[in-house]
Amino acid sequence: MGEQPAHRFALRVYFEDTDAGGVVYHASYLRFAERARTEWLRDLGLPHRQLIDESGLIFVVKRLSIEYHRPARLDESLVVETRVAGIGGASVELRQTIGRGGEGIATLDVALACVRLATGRPERIPATLRALIHPVS
């Protein structure tokens, strides 16, 4: 598979994202990554609402690992880059990096499962959806 350009999502660290010392709380990185995945899908032309309404499918986090490299702090500007690392029959593997001015803050490896909303059961990713997510696969 060829390398696709990363999807970039910019954000600012707000007080609600930090601990009492102004350092980003560990769980806030999960929210940052979730927002970035939502905007990645939206920019592909797959907003969650449309995906649900047209196909009855959703993507859910099946597995996630995160490595923290450096702390982020109150009022900093961060960028979350999302790349497709692989795609299976009913799953998508993503690598998300959170950075500040070219400096790595955190790296997340995320496995998403394609699930039928009505049943909660995994389902193959439709070909049209697959082509949008990873057009070279």
Is 75 among the catalytic positions?
no
Average pLDDT of span 78-83: 98
Condensed to tens digits (0 to 9), the pLDDT of residues 18-29 reads 999 999 999 999
Condensed to tens digits (0 to 9), the pLDDT of residues 3-57 reads 678 999 999 999 999 999 999 999 999 999 999 999 999 999 888 899 899 999 9
Q: Bridge partners of 61?
A: 112
Cα–Cα distance, 126 to 121 (Å, whole number): 15
pLDDT confidence bin for 134, thresholds 50/70/90: confident
Domains identified in the chain and CATH numbers? 17-133 (3.10.129.10)
Total-model pTM: 0.92
Residues 17, 19, 75, 109: which is the catalytic one?
19
Spatial neighbors of 118 by CB under 8 A, at least 6 apart, are 56
